[in-house]
């Protein structure tokens, strides 16, 4: 039996969170139409438009690292007040500022400031860079506010610090951007051509480092897996809104949702552990085995560590998202989930088997609203797209076992970069870990150092191949850039 790996506490602040996409789904294309003739600001309203957010700094603020000055304050963001944090090395003369884009803030009307991961922060300061972070002016999956508010902070940082603290910082001579999870989505989108052209606050980033990045395909994944569970458990003829009643009872501790009492759908596909929790390592019969294989194919294909990620609380969190209308909890006005052309596979051959074709004939097909996530005249889309159309160095990291924000995003990013002719500007690293944004200090240090050398000295770092199935399925895949052995995982075998 595989060991159970729990949600990495250090990853939670930048994760999309337990409550993150409670019921949100979408199409892999993000609901945008590349062939739209012109930008438009639709005369429609969203649930999100009626949300009023508040922002208040905590009484106790994080301490500065040795040899730095740290500043906190408030500024006007896209949907209301946003908070900022800035840390500057002593003697900093403007030589480089990295914007950290934070992860999911939850389904709450109070926005708060998330500090970057400690290891990332130390690597950035150690390289002589300053960093800044925005709380954004909205929560839920508001990547639009995240991008616009981060860019505005970059352009007005010096003014804010002088206004709030009486300290005059040097004007940055270089801007870079990095983030994790939802923040990884924003960091990747910030250097994508469409968003550069449409943002209200234009920043010329010299490079991007998106980690464990979400993107528009995230909502396709969440919709596909939960629908496959319904289909294979024998409930495919039920309305998708019934998913939550069929999947079971969750306990939420404010950080994660845990499936404490599996319902009939889960019990049809998986055995239980002592105490009643589902045993994700023990699928029942052919249907359970096929669901696990479909999940592997949808999330990136055969690869090391997948089964360990399958057996984490991330599985529970994915199931907690099921059953919505596809509007990403009101971020959109209509649904962007679409599976019209998706072929669900539990085998990995070149062509689907006869049984797979018959299975796909039985699957309910859903069409996205083509106007769900349109181009806009007042900035970027509600969900900014990651199209892989960039002209600066981009370095990513992604854990192989991440069942929530899957490794598949890296493969799509590579394919899009190749289509745009800039694949030489993308370096990707696979990390042998089972959780979400579960990076070691050594992995952050190496990624930041290598990325900055690439940006500043044109020394391109090495990365991993992500599209070749034979490479990705190798038992030692991910060994090149993993720093530190995670407990309970298979170690790399020297070749």
pLDDT tens column, 74-110: 999 999 999 999 999 999 999 999 999 999 999 999 9
Task: Give residue-wise pLDDT tens across range 420-465.
Answer: 999 999 999 999 999 999 999 999 999 999 999 999 999 999 999 9
Chain Cα centroid distance, residue 483: 22
**Structure-token pair, residue 418:** 């190749």
The pair of three-digit structure tokens given for residue 299, joined into one six-digit string: 């999330």
What pLDDT score does 35 carry?
47
**What proportion of the chain, given as a percentage, has pLDDT over 90?**
87
- pLDDT in the model for residue 254: 72
Q: What pLDDT does residue 253 have?
A: 79
Q: How far apart are CA 117 and CA 464, in angstroms?
A: 23
pLDDT at 40: 52
Instruction: List Cα–Cα distances, 345 to 280, 356, 413, in angstroms.
Output: 19, 6, 21
pLDDT surpasses 90 at 39 = no
Q: In sequence order, what are the residues at sequence separation of 6 or more whose Cβ sits closer than 8 angstroms to the Cβ of residue 95?
A: 128, 129, 173, 174
CATH code for residues 47-216+375-472? 3.40.50.1820
> Tokens at residue 409, please?
């995003």
Distance separating alpha carbons of residues 106 and 155, to the nearest angstrom: 27
Residues in the chain: 495
Which sequence spans correspond to the domains of the chain?
9-30+219-362, 47-216+375-472
Please tell me the pTM assigned to this model. 0.92
- Cα separation, 189 vs 93, in Å, equals 28
| Residue 381 reports pLDDT greater than 50 | yes
Write the pLDDT tens digit of every residue in 332-346: 999 999 999 999 999
Q: Say if residue 128's pLDDT is above 50.
A: yes
Mean per-residue pLDDT over the chain, rounded: 91
| Radius of gyration from C-alpha coordinates of the chain | 22
Per-residue pLDDT at 192 exceeds 70: yes
Token pair, residue 190, equals 């910030």
Mean pLDDT value across residues 146-151: 98
Q: Is 415 helix (H, G, I), strand (E, B) or coil?
A: helix
Beta-strand (E) ranges in 61-204? 68-76, 81-89, 97-101, 110-111, 130-134, 175-180
Mean pLDDT on 456-483: 98
pLDDT at position 24: 37
Flag whether pLDDT at 240 surpasses 90.
yes
| 3-class DSSP assignment, residue 447 | helix
Asked if residue 25 has pLDDT above 70, the reply is no
pLDDT value of residue 493: 80
| DSSP string for residues in 112-151 | -PPPPPHHHHHHHHHTT-EEEEE--S--SS-HHHHHHHHH
């Amino acid at each position: 039996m595989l060991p159970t790996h729990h949600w990495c506490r250090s990853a939670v602040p930048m994760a999309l969170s337990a409550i993150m996409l409670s019921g949100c789904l979408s199409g892999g294309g993000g609901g945008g139409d590349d062939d739209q003739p012109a930008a438009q600001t639709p005369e429609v309203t969203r649930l999100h438009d009626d949300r009023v957010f508040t922002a208040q700094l905590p009484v106790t603020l994080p301490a500065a690292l040795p040899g730095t000055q740290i500043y906190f304050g408030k500024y006007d963001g896209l949907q209301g007040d946003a908070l900022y944090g800035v840390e500057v090395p002593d003697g900093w003369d403007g030589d480089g500022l990295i914007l950290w884009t934070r992860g999911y803030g939850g389904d709450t009307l109070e926005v708060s400031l998330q500090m970057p991961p400690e290891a990332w922060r130390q690597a950035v300061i150690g390289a002589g860079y300053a960093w800044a972070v925005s709380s954004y002016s909205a929560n839920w999956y508001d990547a639009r506010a995240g991008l616009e508010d981060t860019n505005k902070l970059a352009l007005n940082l010096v003014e804010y610090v002088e206004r709030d603290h009486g300290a005059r910082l040097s004007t940055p001579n270089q801007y870079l951007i990095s983030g994790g999870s939802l923040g990884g989505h924003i960091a990747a989108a910030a250097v994508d051509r469409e968003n550069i052209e449409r943002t209200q606050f234009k920043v010329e980033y010299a490079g991007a480092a998106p980690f464990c990045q979400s993107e528009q395909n995230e909502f396709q994944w969440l919709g596909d897996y939960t629908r496959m569970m319904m289909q294979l458990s024998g409930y495919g003829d039920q309305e998708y809104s019934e998913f939550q009643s069929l999947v079971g009872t969750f306990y939420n501790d404010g950080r994660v949702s845990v499936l404490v009492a599996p319902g009939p759908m889960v019990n049809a596909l998986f055995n239980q552990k002592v105490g009643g929790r589902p045993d994700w390592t023990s699928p029942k019969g052919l249907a359970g085995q096929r669901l696990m294989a479909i999940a592997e194919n949808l999330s990136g294909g055969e690869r090391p560590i997948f089964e360990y990620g399958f057996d984490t609380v991330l599985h529970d969190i994915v199931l907690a998202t099921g059953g919505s209308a596809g509007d990403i909890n009101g971020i959109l006005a209509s649904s962007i989930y679409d599976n019209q052309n998706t072929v669900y596979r539990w085998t990995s051959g070149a062509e689907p088997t006869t049984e797979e074709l018959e299975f796909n004939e039985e699957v309910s097909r859903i069409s996205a609203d083509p106007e769900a996530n349109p181009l806009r005249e007042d900035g970027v889309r509600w969900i900014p797209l990651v199209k892989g159309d960039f002209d600066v160095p981009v370095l990513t990291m992604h854990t192989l076992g991440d069942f929530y924000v899957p490794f598949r995003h890296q493969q799509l990013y590579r394919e899009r970069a190749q289509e745009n002719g800039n694949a030489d500007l993308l370096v990707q690293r696979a990390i042998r870990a089972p959780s979400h944004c579960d990076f070691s200090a050594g992995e952050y240090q190496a990624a930041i150092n290598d990325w900055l050398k690439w940006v500043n000295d044109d020394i391109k770092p090495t990365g991993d191949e992500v599209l070749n199935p034979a490479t990705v399925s190798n038992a030692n895949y991910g060994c090149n850039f993993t720093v530190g052995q995670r407990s309970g995982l298979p170690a790399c075998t020297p070749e």
